[in-house]
Structure 1
Amino acid sequence: MKGELKLLSEFDFTQNIPRVQEAAYFINVGSKILNFNGIDLGKYRFIKGKFTKID
């Protein structure tokens, strides 16, 4: 991979004090994936900067 990973958080603002709903590393815009440690990328989709396994 050429580029960088960014730690991003999704917050829940339904209460007075926002809470972290999910935090994960995402691939930054403009990055290029060359090899993903031998994982078959055909079984994954790239959604909102995150690889999601498709069934």
Structure 2
Amino acid sequence: MKRKRILIPLLIFILFILYLNRDALNPFAPDCSHLPANQPTPDACKKPVKVVAPGFEI
């Protein structure tokens, strides 16, 4: 019984850490750190534009 009490929160914690690192663990994501200079950057490597509510632009 004590083993189950430790194992379940440990499993939940490990799954949570994997969920937080899901982008880094994707084997099919393009490698954005080593891009050739003469080629355009892929859409997956571009940073998304932060959308703000109207009236809150600086």
Structure number with greater Rg is 2
Q: TM-score range by the shorter chain?
A: under 0.3
Structure richer in helix, relative to its length:
2
Higher relative contact order (CA 8 A, sep 6+): 1
